Amino acid sequence: MALTQRDRRALLLLVAVVLPVFAALYGLPPYLRHRSASIERAAAQRALLARERDLLRDTLLLRRALDSARVESRQLGRSVLRATTPAEAGSAVGEQLRAHARRSGLQILRVGPPQVGPAAAGWSEVRVEVDARAAFPAAVRFFAALQADPLRLRVERWLTERAAPVDPMMPPQRDEDRELRVGLTVAALVRIGTLSDGAAP
């Protein structure tokens, strides 16, 4: 049976309407699912790449920090006071104080017996009390020398008062020439043991 012109038009219209509806119902959802999965995979790969970049950066930063810590540890090993016994640790702190006093022009009147704390992990804290006499500039130089040696010595107490003149008949004319009595307590961490026990010097 031959289709009339009107029937052909109706059939074409039907195909034009049904085909997009069929494609939308059966073809579009798989495409959208595939596209969504592709987008999610790409996002996951970008996140993984970002994490790998962060991990690489953190690894490089950690390596630099470890290298810096090794250098500082070697420098600390060269800077700290060392002794083979706790008794020797007390002597080391006293000698360090006397050396600073000689260079500063400070006269040490008395060095108290060192108070050596118990050794822990190869370290011991030593405290020494000192009474001294010096002109103001020498006292300042001595204090500055101790402050410039923080790895070795730490000032815990510092007291000064004007000392009585040596010759009461001839007192100094200038304040900076007046002598001071200085009392201080110095603490230090001392590495106890042989060189092989700690950082190489």
**Is residue 57's pLDDT more than 60?**
yes
Q: What's the angle, vertex CA 130, arms to CA 128 and CA 135, rounded to 5?
A: 145
43 C-beta neighbours (distance < 10 Å), count: 10
Query: What pLDDT was estimated at residue 102?
Result: 92
Please give the share of the chain, as a percent, with pLDDT higher than 90. Answer: 4
- Residue 8 predicted with pLDDT over 60: yes
Mean pLDDT of 43-61: 83
Q: Evaluate if residue 198 carries a pLDDT over 50.
A: no
For residues 69, 70, 76, 77, the Cα torsion angle rounded to the nearest 10 degrees is: 150
Report residue 13's pLDDT band, with 50, 70 and 90 as the boundaries: confident
pLDDT tens digits for 69-120? 566 545 544 556 777 877 788 888 888 888 889 999 999 999 888 888 876 7
100, amino acid identity: H
pLDDT band (50, 70, 90) for residue 131: very high
Q: Region 186-192: what's the mean pLDDT? A: 82
